[in-house]
Amino acid sequence: MGRESLGEFEQLVLLAIVRLGSEVYGVPVVAEIEARTGRSVSRAAVYIALRRLESKGLVASRMADPTPERGGRAKRLFRIEPAGVELLRDNRQALLSMWQDIEPVLEER
């Protein structure tokens, strides 16, 4: 312990940011999660998660690039921070070790 814990949903959001490249804003993040998981997610929940991730120091953001199709409003671009990368790595490690040897059991059912 002693480190930030990561909810499943937050993890999805963080992974979406990683998948989408260096700097991404809200719209593609939601689209990515929905496309990959096949579930529709609450946009508001994604945005809350983004704010929460930022407050935990796992992502950083900056404002940029107002465009006319946004009513002239700026985007907030998010990028993953080293702490975020590390946490994802740890999580993956933990999950993988937990999954080890039981995948065949589940397959059989």
Partner 1 sequence: MKPPRVAAWLLSRTLPQREAEWVLGDLEEVFRARAVDSGRLPARLWYWWQTVSFSARFLRERVDGRRGRRVAVSMYGHRSVHESVGNLLRDLRYAARILLKAPGFIVAAATTLALGIGANTAIFSVVNSVLLSPLPLTEPDRLVSLCETNPAIAGFCIVSPTNVEDWKEQSRTFEAIGIARDWPFILKTDDGVVGMNGGIATPGFFEVLQAAPELGRLFVRSDLEPGNNRVIVLAHATWQGRFGSDSTIVGRTLTLDDEIYSVIGVLAADALVPQMEHFQLWTPLHFHPRDEQNRNWRGFRALGRLAPGATLAEAGSEMTTISGRLAAQFPETNEGWGVRLVPLHEQVVGHARPMLLLFLGAVGFVLLIGCANVANLLLARSTGRRRELAVRTALGANRARLIRLLLGESLLLSLLGGAAGVLLALWAVKAFVALAPGGIPRLDEVRVDSAVMMFALLVSLGTSVLFGVLPALQATALDLNRELKEGDRSASVRSLGARGVLVVSEVALALMLLIGAGLLTQSFSSLLRWQPGFDRDNLLTVWLLASSGKYQSAAEVQTVFRQATDAVESLPAVKAAGTTSAGPLFGGRETDEFQIQGRAAPALGAGPVARWYDVGPSYFNTLGIPIVRGRGFTRNDVGGTLPVAIVNESAAQRYWPGVDPLGQQLSLRGRTMTIVGVVADVRPFRPGAAIDPEIYWPQAQGPRYATFLVIRTQTEPADVVRSVQTRLQQLDPDMQVSSFSTLNQHLDRQLVSPRFNMVLLAIFAGVALVLAAVGIYGVIEYTVAQRTREMGIRLALGAQRWHIIRSVIVGGMRPVALGVGLGLVSAFALSRVLETLIFGVSATDLPTFLVVALVLSAVAALACYVPARRATKVDAIVALREE
Contact set with partner 1 (CB under 8 A):
25-27, 42-45, 47-48, 51-52, 54-56, 63, 66-67, 69-71, 73-76
Q: How far apart are CA 51 and CA 72, in angstroms?
A: 22
Q: For residues 40 and 100, which CB has a smaller minimum distance to partner 1 in the complex? A: 40
- The residues, ordered by sequence, that sit 6+ positions from 47 with a Cβ below 8 Å of its Cβ are 26
Q: Provide, rounded to whole angstroms, the least separation between the CB of residue 34 and partner 1.
A: 12
Q: For residues 73 and 89, which CB has a smaller minimum distance to partner 1 in the complex? A: 73
Q: For residues 51 and 92, which CB has a smaller minimum distance to partner 1 in the complex? A: 51
Would you call 16 helix, strand, or coil by DSSP?
helix
Q: Provide, rounded to whole angstroms, the least separation between the CB of residue 66 and partner 1.
A: 7
